[in-house]
């Protein structure tokens, strides 16, 4: 029997099924890995936005982490929505306690509908404590701007921002270019900085409003690649192809932004 690679996904639950833990479960399964989950918050949301957020108590988040890691373990860990500084601190403690490697951090800050998904104190703790434990950080452009306090309007600026974030402690940084001005003519370009060099990963632009869950899917699939032993270049190249296909197979659900569909790749 082939080894079963386990990926632990830490984040919020999306009642609309398009992002968060629900997107993680689909992405990890599509990559042939086994998904474990720790819920940090419950959200009431749909394709039009997030209507309510209920953060879970820290003791319960820690209990979930202990339950999974003390018994099953994980070959990679992916974080998504972490609303509060206490949540980030809890996750950091468990990463250190269980000596987890292949930590992929998707710094979820703002939902597509504009709802704040990470408090400012949580952002500061993420920078100070979580980034030094992170193998790959996967911000989109607005998130990269928040982390670097700089405007990003070009590929050159993306590269500069990736290096700045790398200096904050993350081993590798992937800035996703979906929000880049003029992106339709350039295509979808992501920038990887591995601490020494920059790499570009591009794909044709797909014209659709149904991109809900793109970031969650990207980070979870990337965690799978690392869990399976791929190097960072191999993992990012595979993910770029998978997520582009998932956007192409996206589902026109609801009245807002429908979800990407990574299961449509199979």
Nearest residue to 22 via CA among 4, 37, 40, 41: 37
197 DSSP 8-state letter: -
User: In angstroms, what CA-CA distances link 58 with 85, 91, 110, 167, 178?
Assistant: 10, 10, 22, 30, 33
Whether residue 140 contacts residue 175, with contact meaning beta carbons closer than 8 Å, is answered with yes
Strand order in the sheet with 136-137: 49-55, 34-46, 6-14, 76-79, 103-105, 136-137, 172-176, 188-193, 198-203
Residues with Cβ within 8 Å of 222's Cβ and at least 6 positions away in sequence, in order, are: 78, 104, 136, 138, 174, 235, 236, 239
Catalytic (active-site) positions: 176, 211, 213-216
Taking CB atoms within 8 Å and a gap of at least 24, the contacts of 247-254 are: 247/206, 247/208, 247/210, 247/211, 247/214, 248/206, 250/208, 250/210, 250/211, 251/210, 252/210, 253/18, 253/47, 253/210, 254/16, 254/46, 254/47, 254/48
- DSSP string for 131-161: GGG-SEE--BHHHHHHHHTS---SHHHHHHH
Helices 85-97, 58-69: inter-axial angle, 10-degree rounding: 20
């Amino acid at each position: 029997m082939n080894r079963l690679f386990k990926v632990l996904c830490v984040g919020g639950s999306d009642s609309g099924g398009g992002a968060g833990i629900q997107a993680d479960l689909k992405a990890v399964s599509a990559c042939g890995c086994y998904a474990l989950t720790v819920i940090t918050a419950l959200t009431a949301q749909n394709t039009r936005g997030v209507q309510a957020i209920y953060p879970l108590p820290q003791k319960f988040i820690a209990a979930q982490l202990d339950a999974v890691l003390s018994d099953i373990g994980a070959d990679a860990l992916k974080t998504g929505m972490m609303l509060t500084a206490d949540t980030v601190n809890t996750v950091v403690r468990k990463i250190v306690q269980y000596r987890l490697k292949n930590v992929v951090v998707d710094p979820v800050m703002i939902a597509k509908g504009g709802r704040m998904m990470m408090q400012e104190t949580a952002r500061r703790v993420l920078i100070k404590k979580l980034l030094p434990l992170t193998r790959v950080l996967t911000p989109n452009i607005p998130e990269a701007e928040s982390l670097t306090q700089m405007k990003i309007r070009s590929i050159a600026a993306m590269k500069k921002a990736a290096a700045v974030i790398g200096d904050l402690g993350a081993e590798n940084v992937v800035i996703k270019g979906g929000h880049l001005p003029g992106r339709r003519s350039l295509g979808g370009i992501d920038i990887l900085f591995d601490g020494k060099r920059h790499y570009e990963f591009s794909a044709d632009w797909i014209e659709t409003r149904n991109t809900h869950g793109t970031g969650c899917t990207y980070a979870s699939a990337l965690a799978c690649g690392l869990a399976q032993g791929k190097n960072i270049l191999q993992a990012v190249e595979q993910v770029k192809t998978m997520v582009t296909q998932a956007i192409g197979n996206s589902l026109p659900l609801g009245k807002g932004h429908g979800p990407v569909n990574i299961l449509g790749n199979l």
